[in-house]
Structure 1
């Protein structure tokens, strides 16, 4: 009896979560997420799926974040007609997040096609449309926490609180093997929340599995400001610093969970006199709709009262229209703007960055993970200039960071979480992590919990057979092309090209006299000709 597990995303990268579990009788997906980050990774979203969508019987969804759910409309568009099993909060959040993602796909492709027409290039189609997303929402089926659901004839699953965001889960899966054998037991971590999360209870799950899949986003990080009071004190310091400069405090923030957490702390700081009072703008239509869903499911939240109080604060301003958003950009003096996307790669935050990065009295405060290749990571890495909407922008604003708002457990917390899932009888797969996080967590686990030889780090589209005494890699004809393979894990040619253009422009500007500039341009052209 052959049981196979394929890793179609979140494999040595932190986005695109998608795992395919195939038995002789059925085939399911655990998550079906969008790739984010470098252009090389994002291009995978446009490639055909590495399996036939109509061969999938069901989907188990860990949570509603786009890097876990964002390709579901594409799956439906190309033939998937089964159920998508998720908690009720995840269903509600997906009902606004997926159509919003579809709208973004259509808008970005429309803008790209306008440029392509001017350049004489081919037109492209969106990954999916808002209509596809609305159809996808109809296929969701609610599940209760800690209750078995029969996904197919031979696969059942149970959803456990992951502590990451509203509705998030880790998923316990059992595969019937027949002939009186014990079922094969797998556990998919999803995204594990940290201890001391403001709005979420600590993660929980049973122990004892054949295979454990565990995220490694912060597998090499030991955060020091994880305590809620220390985290809020650090945020208050950034609020005071920005106020002293009489400029904007821009906070790129994921619309779901992060915005609500940071907003709650900001309002506590201002109401308790821990920092100056000022207008706080939520400039994200998705965040506004998601916040209403948080209110609906307040009974599931920790500290729900603090969130409700924040939403009633006289300092809060919620931006509804594009005109409202543009009006924020005209403000002077100290104010705070929370806007998506959290990695600065899409949404209204890009317009705010374009307006304010050149200002010395502006502050940009990162409160979430910034994947390789994203504008957020470029800014954190100290870029002096960036390109936004094709325009070169000088970076004079202060770029700051708070790690304590992360929705992911750090290395010590992951180690404790893994130890509580033991024993793991066969193998552990590390997923949802970049090179540093994977290496750091592997080292921690190997020191105390299990031999390094049993810890596997799959690549995108690799498949493993699970029905033996250990996982065995098998050949797959459907692996997608990533050229070069390491481009999936680090800044790629597009990042390098953008930086090269910025460097060339700076070199030309810093060269004295048009005659010398002409010489520089000729040398650059000669180098380009030699490279052809």
Structure 2
């Protein structure tokens, strides 16, 4: 059996692995590379692979760095089933269509520049229509259901606790008279989210393909995240200003809404009373759709979420903003308020307009609740930029920018190691989905502490198991 690493090897994004047993060929994940221009170029530079010859694709979860190339591989000729959990299919129905729209918009902008330079136009990686076609191949199954992919390959999903519907994979591959077990961790949660349960455990496996996003770091101040967020909101309120929360539309937005609701329900103090009076605007069509999906799967979420019934994200002061006109009106509303909007790294979407209209105000507070990649507007704000350029206009940064740790959906180094250490009979661990330093440090810890052979995967290499 061979595995080829087509993404998330030496990188955090672009998760895609090709497995060839000799009689069955299939993919695990097909995600977009995200980040720098050089990284995004990799999305259409996959080695010469006949996607029409593949039997299936097994998808760990809906995040675009794991699912975002599915419409592209369908364009390349893939017509097999895309196995995933039911919530993952529902989330992909909105995320992949949105990704298609973004591909079209960015391509239109690129072609305007190419036209001015006298160059021929190029096609987008895929369109929204391509995404709609790709969604026809999705085939959802339940956690723990035994799925027979072919005569020699079966698999089952386990709950990874990272995102609604996220899964790790246990593959069962028949090799002559024996059955080998190969596990893919997917992205693992850290057990601290109010929304998700702790990741399930794997009792035994022969080989493990293991993520290492936070393989060299531990999360800090997790227990203080809610109080810190409320402090920022109340500080803005006291000064008559707006709290801007750039937030990922799927997962993080729902977590922030529930954090506020849970604080109000569990605190009987002055802060809670003030919080009840502050208008909250959820200004992201994608986040609105995602929140409806989360509500529909509330029975699949944590016990705490289920205690709140069918409306875990509703708040008396919450206004759902859908139209562009209503979004624009917010920037002429001078009263204290909270605006939660995408994108989470401030690179696109309505949050950029709100930052443009509010960053120059000293009573504005910006709460950064997620990872900010290099060369993004969010990272520039975190790094203390005194001015930024938004839509070709230079904006002075007079606002108060706060980094609120503890909202990561990823397991940290200690949690990753503990998850691996419970798996018996491991012969080899292939470390993926991390920056090179993070992967190397995590692999070394596994090898020296647990005595298990490790390998840090390189992009496009093929490994025999």
Q: TM-score range by the shorter chain?
A: over 0.9
Q: What CA RMSD, in Å, does the superposition of the two structures yield over aligned residues?
A: 2.1
Give the direction of change, closer, same or farther, for the CA distance of 1:382–1:124 in structure 2 (3 Å limit).
Answer: farther
SS in 2 for 1:174: strand
Match of 2:73 in 1: 75
Give the direction of change, closer, same or farther, for the CA distance of 1:334–1:462 in structure 2 (3 Å limit).
Answer: farther
CA apart distance, 1:373: 3.7
1:299 paired with 2:299, answer: yes
Match of 1:448 in 2: 449
Match of 1:246 in 2: 240
Match of 1:64 in 2: 62
Which of 1 and 2 has greater Rg? Answer: 1
Q: Distance in 1 between matches of 2:211 and 2:236?
A: 35
Deviations for 1:374-407, whole angstroms, at most 9, x for unmatched residues? Answer: 3333332333333333444333322222221111
Please give the residue correspondences for 1:105-124 in structure 2 after superposition, counting only pairs within 5 Å: 105-124=103-122
Give the direction of change, closer, same or farther, for the CA distance of 1:359–1:437 in structure 2 (3 Å limit).
Answer: farther
Give the TM-score normalised by structure 2: 0.92
Match of 2:366 in 1: 364
Please give the residue correspondences for 1:125-524 in structure 2 after superposition, counting only pairs within 5 Å: 125-178=123-176, 180=177, 182-227=178-223, 230-270=224-264, 272=267, 273-274=271-272, 276=275, 277-302=277-302, 303-304=304-305, 305-306=307-308, 308-309=310-311, 311-425=313-427, 427-450=428-451, 454-466=453-465
Aligned partners of 1:58 and 1:152 also within 8 Å = no
Aligned partners of 2:60 and 2:168 also within 8 Å = yes
Match of 2:89 in 1: 91
Give the direction of change, closer, same or farther, for the CA distance of 1:111–1:322 in structure 2 (3 Å limit).
Answer: farther
Give the direction of change, closer, same or farther, for the CA distance of 1:45–1:325 in structure 2 (3 Å limit).
Answer: farther
CA apart distance, 1:310: 5.1
**Structure 1, 193-202 or 437-446: larger mean CA deviation:** 437-446
Aligned partners of 2:96 and 2:131 also within 8 Å = yes
Q: Distance in 2 between matches of 1:460 and 1:374?
A: 24
Q: Distance in 1 between matches of 2:62 and 2:164?
A: 9
Aligned partners of 2:190 and 2:412 also within 8 Å = yes
Q: Distance in 2 between matches of 1:307 and 1:133?
A: 33
Deviations for 1:67-91, whole angstroms, at most 9, x for unmatched residues? Answer: 1101100011111000000011111
CA apart distance, 1:333: 3.4
CA apart distance, 1:106: 1.2
**Structure 1, 99-108 or 308-317: larger mean CA deviation:** 308-317
Q: Distance in 1 between matches of 2:244 and 2:286?
A: 17
Give the direction of change, closer, same or farther, for the CA distance of 1:116–1:334 in structure 2 (3 Å limit).
Answer: farther
Aligned partners of 1:217 and 1:434 also within 8 Å = yes
CA apart distance, 1:23: 1.9
Q: Distance in 1 between matches of 2:400 and 2:117?
A: 36
Deviations for 1:467-490, whole angstroms, at most 9, x for unmatched residues? Answer: xxxxxxxxxxxxxxxxxxxxxxxx
Aligned partners of 2:164 and 2:294 also within 8 Å = yes
1:7 paired with 2:1, answer: no
Aligned partners of 1:39 and 1:373 also within 8 Å = no
CA apart distance, 1:308: 4.7
CA apart distance, 1:177: 1.2
Give the direction of change, closer, same or farther, for the CA distance of 1:385–1:78 in structure 2 (3 Å limit).
Answer: same
Aligned partners of 2:79 and 2:137 also within 8 Å = yes
Give the direction of change, closer, same or farther, for the CA distance of 1:384–1:459 in structure 2 (3 Å limit).
Answer: farther
Q: Distance in 2 between matches of 1:322 and 1:307?
A: 31
Give the direction of change, closer, same or farther, for the CA distance of 1:240–1:442 in structure 2 (3 Å limit).
Answer: farther
Aligned partners of 1:38 and 1:374 also within 8 Å = no
Q: Distance in 2 between matches of 1:347 and 1:294?
A: 21
Aligned partners of 1:100 and 1:130 also within 8 Å = yes
SS in 1 for 2:406: helix
Aligned partners of 1:264 and 1:306 also within 8 Å = no
Give the direction of change, closer, same or farther, for the CA distance of 1:307–1:381 in structure 2 (3 Å limit).
Answer: farther
Give the TM-score normalised by structure 1: 0.81
Q: Distance in 1 between matches of 2:148 and 2:71?
A: 23
Q: Distance in 2 between matches of 1:317 and 1:382?
A: 31
Q: Distance in 2 between matches of 1:90 and 1:122?
A: 38
**Structure 1, 98-107 or 343-352: larger mean CA deviation:** 343-352
Aligned partners of 2:443 and 2:456 also within 8 Å = no
CA apart distance, 1:296: 1.2
